[in-house]
Structure 1
Amino acid sequence: MSKTYKLFISHSWNYSDAYDSLIKLIEKQDITYSNHSVPKDDPIQTNGTDKQLKEAIEAKMKGTSCVLILAGVYSTYSKWIQKEIEIAQSLGKKIIAIEPWDSERTSKTVKDAADVIVKWQGKSVADAIKELCG
């Protein structure tokens, strides 16, 4: 029986296509995982307060093995990704930064917080998950 990795996959709703692509990339790998991210259609996301969203993120993140964050340049300017980094660090969660495919500029904020930085390649992402999230 294979191990199931509990992942919190950070994302910006403004860039949900990158999140969706990452999910597809992970699903093509020989890895079993459960996604503990706050869904886009969660009422807290659309109608809640910042405090409620922070609490929802923390609750989802608590039970995870590690946190995956896309290291696109937009991450540098996202207050929520910064908060997710802070929550992950306060909970002692390992952070995997994933550099977007064919990106010239990436987020120094995310990469500085990361335990490991990988390229946008299925095997690299899966290997990092297996190594850090075990």
Structure 2
Amino acid sequence: MPYLKDYRLFISHAWKYDSTYSGLIQLLNAAPLFSYYDYSAPKEKPLFPPGTPYTSIEIADKITAKIRPAQITLVLSGMYGAYSNWMQYEIDESVRMGKPIIGIYPWGQTNAPQYVTSNATEMVRWNTSSIVSAIRRLV
């Protein structure tokens, strides 16, 4: 059996659209000979739960700390991303840190927010092969 490289991923997403994130995890888990660690905040332990006492600066610091150890950022580029300041912050931080960014078109869509397409190192379609191939190529 070949040695598996563990890829360190940060997945930019909005918990309001949980099914998209869950679908991406299913695609990654279906990839043969692909091992990864997801540095994104789990739904069970969000960085800033409702009613959080954190300031915007503290939230930004927590997001930056999640992105820092990752090798690459994946952005679920549904049109909701056009309206999320925190997703834009995650993209900006990934760019600032020199992390490659993979923008992922949602299933059956051909459009993505301009902010994602203009900052992505590569845009890929919603399928295991294209996503995993891009990760392997860029890391």
TM-score range for the pair, normalised by the shorter chain length: over 0.9
TM value normalised by structure 2: 0.90
Q: What does residue range 7-26 of structure 1 map to in structure 2 within 5 Å? A: 7-26=9-28
Counterparts of 1:83 and 1:127, CA distance in 2: 26
Output the amino acid matched with 2:64: E
Q: What is the CA RMSD across the aligned residues, in angstroms? A: 1.2
| Cα distance change, pair 44–121 in 1 and its aligned pair in 2 (3 A) | closer
Counterparts of 2:68 and 2:58, CA distance in 1: 15
Per mean C-alpha deviation after superposition, the further-off stretch among 64-73 and 36-45 is 36-45
Q: What does residue range 62-81 of structure 1 map to in structure 2 within 5 Å? A: 62-81=68-87
Counterparts of 2:71 and 2:137, CA distance in 1: 11
Corresponding residue to 1:88 among 91, 94, 110: 94
Percent identity over the alignment is 35
SS in 2 for 1:22: helix
* More helix per residue: 1
| Cα distance change, pair 38–101 in 1 and its aligned pair in 2 (3 A) | same
SS in 1 for 2:70: coil
Q: Deviations over 1:1-35 (max 9, x none)?
A: 21000000111111111001100111100210000
Counterparts of 1:129 and 1:56, CA distance in 2: 24
Structure 1 residues without counterparts, runs of 5 or longer: none
| Cα distance change, pair 50–131 in 1 and its aligned pair in 2 (3 A) | same
Structure 1 residue 40: deviation in Å? Answer: 2.4
